[in-house]
Chain A
């Protein structure tokens, strides 16, 4: 069974640009969550999607958005990039039942210059 796949693995963008990150969950998993990891703030929850609907949202500005497709693949978009958006973005997928284990991808390292 393939794990959670995140693409790209590394990304360098310029301030003001926008970026889209992709996450393919484990086959059969319908919940996809996104987290931002920085040295200063640690791991922070961005949002969670289930069956194409956003179920939970963290405390991030509206520049951070996401969506989920019918095949459960998810994308995360950050517009008007700021230097502080430089981080490791982790995606996790979970099964259909509640409170199931989250499986993480290897993350996308975003650097904003």
Chain B
């Protein structure tokens, strides 16, 4: 079975600061994808960034980047120059190759303060 763990239930930072959200996962499979999703109060889940497990290079999307440590099964999200609009629940998720079934962590509630 696959599991995803987010150890930080809540985080709060000031606008323009950098924040890192932690995620660890467990799977015996070698081929999988990892995602960070954002869920603002509107409830819509929005994909922030994805990482293919076979890629060693860490994914980057504008202010968002990940630190993917495959051996340690760690997948953290770094948000640089945080903005008020980044306030949301953030979910780490695992997708096994060939199975359209996401396994989510419990989420981290991130608040960006002005």
Contact = CB atoms under 8 A, between A and B. Distances in A.
Interface of A: 31, 33, 35, 42-45, 48, 50, 55-56, 58, 88, 90, 92, 94, 98-99, 101-107, 109
B93 to A, nearest CB: 8
B100 A50 contact: yes
A9 to B, nearest CB: 9
B50 A55 contact: no
Contacts of B95: 99, 102
B55 interface: no
B101 A88 contact: no
B47 A48 contact: no
A99 B101 contact: no
A42 B102 contact: no
Contacts of B37: 104
Nearest to A93: B100
Contact of A43 (B50, B99, B104): B104
Interface in B88-108: 91, 95, 97-107
Given A42-B106, A43-B104, A104 B45 contact: yes
A43 B100 CA distance: 15
A75 to B, nearest CB: 18
Interface in B22-45: 33, 37, 42-45
Contacts of A101: 47, 50
B1 to A, nearest CB: 10
B101 A45 contact: yes
Residue from A33, A92, A102 whose CB has the most chain B CB atoms within 10 Å: A102
